[in-house]
Chain A
Amino acid sequence: MDYYFHTERLSVGYQGKPLVKGIEIGLKKGEILTVIGPNGAGKSTLLKSIARQLKSVGGAIYLEQKDLADMSGTALSKRMAVVFTEKMQTELMTCEDVAATGRYPYTGRFGVLSKEDRDQVEEAMALVHVEQIKDQDFSRISDGQRQRVMLARAICQEPEVLVLDEPVSFLDIRHKLEFLSVLQELREKKQLTVIMSLHELELVKIVSDKILCLRGEYVERYGAPEEVFETDFIGRLYGIDRENFIKNEKLLAYARQIGQMPGTKLRT
């Protein structure tokens, strides 16, 4: 099958040592892929490798059948944008300034923004609903707003693929939902293909088209939500040990409940 974005026997890791091996992802244009798995399973490593922040240890990543490794930095930057979790220290930058850095691949020798660039920035900020705070200092806004400005920045790059590392981890429930809703809106409007990692399993079930489960050195599972989630699965993926919950069955039940897809009955 011809996928829009796919990987072949991709191995990712640091300094030539693979952390996760044999990753096979296949995505159609406009699909949302979510990567889940316990801490340290290599989610960020995978995302960084896809975004070419890290050299992959083996295998290849293809975007429309073209090997990502063969693309120039500028060519890739016009097709793929990223939102990372790392906290940034900006100096005297308004939210608009931050978003406008996404226009970098399109500006001239000295990076001066043209009228069209400015319009693009404005449109991107409107899309993620941060146009009211565009003149505020980026270091003084809330975490929720910050993530959305970073999303606007990514949209300014006019990407086809968006890579996000735990984009909602530090947000409260309202902002988590709002952020994910904006992402889905973008997928509708711009046919964006989204690759992200999430810890919020209930949300993973709702927003993902495909789910990649990482655990240890290999891919535990890859597929649509209904293929991936089943009652015992979450417990197995995250290594939740029954022994630790002998007097606390309620918490254990919670894990089983997450594993269940909406509409099916909990097997007991």
Chain B
Amino acid sequence: MEENRIKRQVSAFILLGMGVLVFVILNICIGSVKISLSEIRSALTGRGSEETMARIVWDIRLPRTAAVLVLGGALALSGYLLQTFFNNPIAGPFVLGISSGAKMVVALTMVFFMGRAVRVTQTGMIFAAFLGAVLSMGFVLVLSRRVNSMSMLVVSGVMIGYICSAVTELVVTFASDAQIVNLHNWSRGSFSGMTWENVRMIVVVVGAAFLLVFCLSKPLGAYRLGESYARSLGVNLRLLRVELVILSSILSACVVAFAGPISFVGIATPHLVKKLFGTAKPLSMIPACFLGGSLFCLFCDLLARTMLAPAELSISTVTAIFGAPVVLWIMTERKRERAG
């Protein structure tokens, strides 16, 4: 039995890894300019390749793909942490209004500094997003303490999300700057225009957060039987809660700062991954959710770029099409299990 489970998990990891690899290649190849595998190779090695091809691969497709890979993983991981923390299967950074909160503060910061002709640095953006994420998270926490129910949590999150989005819309509409076009695209969620500088920052922040989350896999495992049992096993619950809140906020803040709010990846991916692995053990789930989120986002970004090319869909449009049915499926499945 134990061996079977290990086998299943190893094959699931291999499957996910291969999926990610395939979609990374597809993402680089497919686009308004088709690039063949051999052209990619020559562009990467820098030998005998056309300058434009090399530029497209190096400056546009590669950084974008890398960003999608890491940010997608970050989203799914943040969703996994929130679901564990709230013991709620439909928690996620978007549903709980955390993404929208981050978006609002980033938009306010950008408009404020643009008005003074100051460019906001990447670090500044991340800080602003983190501040917004923690703010909404705080609201959700206060509300969930008052009314301890699964639906109340989601309702308060969605409402906070609406309020923050409304404020963002207002700010974006009234700020009359040429750069607002950028802001508008970003506020709907998009991976376009990633630079290597962005990617470096993303990898550092998400990488550090990932390692810290991975170190929490043991207490998270004990947390699976609920707070009382975790406490009786000697888990420092207060510390664990703070760590969970901060890490999930950092992860979703990083995504918002660079790609805007992206819906459904955070909710849907952990469930799909759990089904695939046949376990919900944090030690495997943490890396698996990350890979799953990468795969899901690579797939969705490919569609967002190509479906209506040369126009580009907002990434949330695509993630919602594939993610929302998963959420519905989760809910009906849960109901059926409880009835049966």
Which residues of A lie under 8 Å from residue B218 when comparing CB positions? 104, 107, 109-111
Bitwise, A55-89 to B at CB < 8 A (1) or not (0) is 00000000000000000111111101110101011
- Beta-carbon contact of B283 and A104 below 8 Å: no
Number of A interface residues, CB 8 Å? 37
Which residues of B lie under 8 Å from residue A109 when comparing CB positions? 215, 218
- Beta-carbon contact of B280 and A77 below 8 Å: no
Partner of B232, one of A53, A98, A111, A134: A53
Chain A contact surface mostly: loop
Partner of A72, one of B222, B226, B229, B234: B234
A139 within 8 A of partner (CB):
yes
- CA of A203 to CA of B95, assembled, Å: 50
Which residues of B lie under 8 Å from residue A139 when comparing CB positions? 337
Known interface pairs A88-B225, A110-B218, A135-B1; A105-B280 also in contact (CB < 8 Å): no
Interface residues of A in 98-131 (CB under 8 A from B): 98, 101-102, 104-105, 107, 109-112
- Beta-carbon contact of A101 and B234 below 8 Å: no
Which residues of B lie under 8 Å from residue A98 when comparing CB positions? 225
Partner of B280, one of A92, A102, A112: A92
- CA of A78 to CA of B234, assembled, Å: 9
Distance in Å from the Cβ of A245 to the closest Cβ of chain B?
Answer: 38
A240 within 8 A of partner (CB):
no
- CA of A52 to CA of B229, assembled, Å: 11
Kindly report which residue of chain B lies nearest to residue A135, judged by CB atoms: B1
Bitwise, B116-148 to A at CB < 8 A (1) or not (0) is 000000000000000000000000000000000
A93 within 8 A of partner (CB):
yes
- Beta-carbon contact of A104 and B234 below 8 Å: yes
Kindly report which residue of chain B lies nearest to residue A157, judged by CB atoms: B233
- CA of A134 to CA of B226, assembled, Å: 20
Kindly report which residue of chain A lies nearest to residue B84, judged by CB atoms: A91
B231 within 8 A of partner (CB):
yes
- Beta-carbon contact of B228 and A90 below 8 Å: no
B279 within 8 A of partner (CB):
yes
Which residues of B lie under 8 Å from residue A78 when comparing CB positions? 234
- Beta-carbon contact of B279 and A92 below 8 Å: yes
Known interface pairs A77-B234, A101-B233; A82-B221 also in contact (CB < 8 Å): no
Distance in Å from the Cβ of A51 to the closest Cβ of chain B?
Answer: 6
B222, B233, B281 — most chain A CB neighbours (10 Å) = B233
Which residues of A lie under 8 Å from residue B1 when comparing CB positions? 134-135
Which residues of B lie under 8 Å from residue A74 when comparing CB positions? 234
- Beta-carbon contact of B283 and A111 below 8 Å: yes
B46 within 8 A of partner (CB):
no
Distance in Å from the Cβ of B275 to the closest Cβ of chain A?
Answer: 9
Which residues of A lie under 8 Å from residue B222 when comparing CB positions? 101, 104, 111
Interface residues of A in 35-63 (CB under 8 A from B): 51-53
- Beta-carbon contact of B217 and A91 below 8 Å: no
Kindly report which residue of chain B lies nearest to residue A163, judged by CB atoms: B232
- Beta-carbon contact of A92 and B274 below 8 Å: yes
- CA of A93 to CA of B222, assembled, Å: 12
Which residues of A lie under 8 Å from residue B278 when comparing CB positions? 92
Distance in Å from the Cβ of B15 to the closest Cβ of chain A?
Answer: 18
- Beta-carbon contact of B224 and A91 below 8 Å: yes
- CA of A110 to CA of B218, assembled, Å: 5
Distance in Å from the Cβ of B336 to the closest Cβ of chain A?
Answer: 13
Bitwise, A145-165 to B at CB < 8 A (1) or not (0) is 000000001000100000000
Known interface pairs A110-B217, A111-B283; A82-B226 also in contact (CB < 8 Å): no
Which residues of A lie under 8 Å from residue B217 when comparing CB positions? 110-111
Known interface pairs A107-B218, A111-B218; A81-B225 also in contact (CB < 8 Å): no
- Beta-carbon contact of B87 and A101 below 8 Å: no
Kindly report which residue of chain A lies nearest to residue B215, judged by CB atoms: A109
B235 within 8 A of partner (CB):
yes
Which residues of A lie under 8 Å from residue B221 when comparing CB positions? 101, 104, 111
The 5 A-B residue pairs whose C-beta atoms are closest, nearest first, are: A111-B218, A73-B234, A77-B234, A74-B234, A104-B233
Give the interface of B toward A (CB within 8 A).
Answer: 1, 87, 215, 217-218, 221-222, 224-226, 228-229, 231-236, 274, 278-281, 283, 337
Given contacts A97-B281, A110-B217, 17 further A-B contacts (CB under 8 A): A53-B228, A53-B231, A73-B234, A81-B232, A82-B228, A84-B228, A88-B229, A89-B87, A91-B224, A92-B278, A101-B221, A101-B225, A104-B221, A104-B233, A109-B218, A110-B283, A135-B1
